[in-house]
A and B are shown apart, each in its own frame.
Chain A
Amino acid sequence: MKTDYLWDKQGSDSEIERIETILSEYRYVPVPTPNVAPQKVVSPWRWLLPATAFAALLLTVLWIGSAPKSPVAVSKEVLAELVPAPAVAAVSETPAGTAVETPASARPANTRLMLTPIRAKVSSSRKRPIKSPTVALTDEEKYAYEQVVRALFITGTQLRSVHSAIACIEDHTTTDKNR
């Protein structure tokens, strides 16, 4: 059987073996495998999400902390009792120093409420009278309050005169039509 040294190196072929020997100096010499270990590169964006979350949390805490607080935390139960009764009143001091209660309906809008602490638990059988909360006004607030009351009074008077004038005109008109 004919051998084919060039194909499978079976048998021998002096010419090809000589060329192989000469060219053997170019043969691949095994070298270490290239280093492909992943290099840990810390991306600057890696901290972006945690930093943003922390900043958002910090801002939320600061915002909650700076929000205006109500002087007294009032429970729903107590509020239900407070609302129907005209318990909240504005208090103004007279020049003599005596406190005068003003009905809640007449209290100016900018009156500062100072609720006194109220016991939360109220027994259903025997309700104790709730102490009326007081409103303390400064001198400036008292002046402003008086001015507002005067303005309302004048406005009311004018409205009444306008109303009566209109009524007179309507009366005259009706009389003319009857004629």
Chain B
Amino acid sequence: MPDIEFTLGLARADVDIAPMRASEDSEDATLVSAISLGDEDAFSRFHRKYAPLVHGIALAKLPAGEADDVTQEVFLAAFRGIKSLRDPDAVGPWLVKLTRNHVAGFYRSRKISEELPDEIHDRHSHRHEAAEILLAIRSLPEAYSETLVLRLIEGMTGEEIATRTGLSSGSVRVNLHRGMDLLRKALGVEVKK
């Protein structure tokens, strides 16, 4: 029976987020067309809306300080390249892809082989625990790590993650639960039954 419950749960979630996704799409299309015309206010709203998403994707791979910088760089690149966006409704997935490219470029240019000092702390401190969890999340496959960072760090709900990344709610739900199980294992916590 768990399979049936799971399937029903997915179907309910898809139905729930459909109106939300439609309104987000129309809002995104308006923002994109305004930004294409050089509207700085629209870009400011766009930045406020999508900055947590971009930051979360960057943080899943980069040290915290670098993630902040890359986030700003991604938005500058987005402003320059938004005219080339064919589907204004797909601006979220486009931003995710742009962020991943910037992260890859960051590693290509700087060749970081170890964690930066800002995440190395006293083993018993609160910050050390946070760094340890973050490292454990980063060690997971990309689909899980990005989704978990967006949920646990950026505080987005599963619906919001699905709407902004363009993933289906089912995929996000699976990524969250499987990722959480893997994280617990990585942290040495017993997985709940």
Cβ contact within 8 Å between A16 and B55: no
Interface string of A119-157 (1 = CB under 8 A from B): 000000000000000000000000000000000000000
Residues in chain A near residue B55, CB distance under 8 A:
28
| Inter-chain contact B75/A33, CB cutoff 8 Å | yes
- Complex contacts, A38 vs chain B, CB 8 Å: 38
Give the shortest distance, in Å, between A38 (CB) and chain B (any CB). Answer: 7
Asked whether A28 lies within 8 Å of B56 as measured between CB atoms, the reply is yes
Q: How large is the interface on A (under 10, 10 to 19, 20 to 34, 35 or more residues)?
A: 20 to 34
- Are A16 and B43 within 8 A (Cβ)? no
Q: Which residues of A contact B79 (CB under 8 A)?
A: 34, 36
Checking B38, B44, B130, B159 against A26 with a beta-carbon cut-off of 8 angstroms, the contacting residue is B130
| Residues in A neighbouring B186, C-beta threshold 8 A | none
Count, chain B residues at interface, CB 8 A: 40
Q: Are A24 and B158 in contact (CB under 8 A)?
A: no
Given A26-B130, A36-B79, A9 and B180 contact (CB-CB distance below 8 Å): no
Say how far B118's CB is from chain A's closest CB, in angstroms.
11
Within 8 A of B (CB), among A18-46: 19-20, 22-31, 33-34, 36-38
Which of B90-98, B99-107, B146-154 interfaces with chain A? B146-154
Are the C-beta atoms of B133 and A23 separated by less than 8 Å?
yes
User: A7 near B: Cβ within 8 Å?
Assistant: yes
Distance in Å: Cβ of A32 to nearest Cβ of chain B: 9
Report chain A residues within 8 Å CB of B38.
38
Give 11 A-B contacts (CB < 8 Å), ordered by A residue. Answer: A6-B176, A8-B159, A15-B192, A23-B133, A24-B153, A26-B59, A26-B64, A28-B52, A28-B71, A33-B43, A34-B47
In the complex, given contacts A20-B153, A22-B130, A28-B55, what are 15 additional A-B residue pairs having Cβ atoms less than 8 angstroms apart? A6-B151, A6-B176, A7-B158, A15-B192, A22-B133, A25-B130, A26-B59, A26-B153, A27-B52, A28-B71, A31-B51, A33-B43, A33-B48, A36-B76, A37-B40
